[in-house]
């Protein structure tokens, strides 16, 4: 069975853009595997000889009042099924309270988490990364998913964590 990587983060940080980059598809495959529901997006990808399964999620808002929404429940289920979580944040917006709430929630799952700093195009990546250290998830890995930048480096790091 291929390792499963879940893409998590608040809405609009670029999860689906990264999903499409990593699966090289515009239209995500929906896996027909037992135990996997159809309401999350599954795809497969490969770097070098390394194959993985990727799960795109609707995301977590980080807001308490929406914790029980369907989207949040599905996202939590995806996290539970994952071997590794890629937690996406937005280098243009900077660190938000929602990111902090999601980081706290992710800690409760006990899954390995890599912090991915997206939208680093047009911003100083070091300056953008600095404030995200406060999340306690280590050095953010800078990418610009929409431009395919940083993806190879990201996947090298991912490989090292699976």
Per CB under 5 A, contacts with Mg ion among 2-21 are 15-16
According to the binding rule CB under 6 A, does residue 13 interact with ligand GDP?
yes
Closer residue to ligand GDP (CB): 147 or 159: 147
Nearest CA to 120 among 111, 129, 112, 130?
Answer: 129
Select from 63-71, 126-134, 140-148, 151-159 the region that touches ligand GDP (CB under 6 A): 140-148
Answer yes or no: is 9 a known binding residue.
Answer: yes
According to the binding rule CB under 6 A, does residue 121 interact with ligand GDP?
yes
Instruction: Please report the DSSP string for 61-74 in residue order.
Output: ---GGGTTSHHHHH
Answer yes or no: is 68 a known binding residue.
Answer: no
Per CB under 6 A, contacts with ligand GDP among 41-60 are 59
- Local structure of 119: helix, strand or coil: coil
Among 4, 14, 95, 103, binds ligand GDP (CB under 6 A): 14
According to the binding rule CB under 6 A, does residue 40 interact with ligand GDP?
no
Per CB under 6 A, contacts with ligand GDP among 54-93 are 59
Structure tokens at 65: 């009042």
Nearest CA to 64 among 108, 97, 107?
Answer: 97
According to the binding rule CB under 5 A, does residue 61 interact with Mg ion?
no
118 binds, among Mg ion, ligand GDP, none (CB under 5 to 8 A by kind): ligand GDP
Pairing of strands 41-47, 50-56: antiparallel
Handedness of CA 34, 116, 114, 45 (dihedral sign): positive
Cα–Cα dist 92/111, whole Å: 27
Q: Which residues bind Mg ion (CB under 5 A)?
A: 15-16
């Amino acid at each position: 069975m291929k390792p499963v990587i879940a893409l998590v983060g608040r809405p609009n940080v670029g999860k689906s853009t990264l999903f499409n980059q990593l699966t090289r598809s515009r239209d995500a495959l929906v896996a027909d595997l037992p135990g996997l529901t159809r309401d999350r997006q599954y795809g497969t990808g490969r770097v070098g000889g390394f194959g993985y399964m990727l799960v795109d999620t609707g995301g977590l808002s980080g807001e308490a009042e929406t914790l029980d929404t369907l989207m949040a429940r599905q996202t939590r289920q995806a996290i539970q099924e994952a071997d590794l979580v890629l937690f996406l944040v937005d280098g243009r917006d900077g660190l938000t309270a929602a990111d902090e709430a999601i980081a706290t929630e992710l800690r409760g799952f006990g899954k390995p988490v890599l912090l991915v700093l997206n939208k680093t195009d047009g911003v100083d990546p070091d300056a953008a990364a600095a404030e995200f250290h406060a999340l306690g998830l280590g050095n953010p890995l800078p990418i610009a998913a929409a431009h395919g930048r940083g993806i190879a480096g990201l996947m090298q790091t991912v490989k090292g964590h699976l």
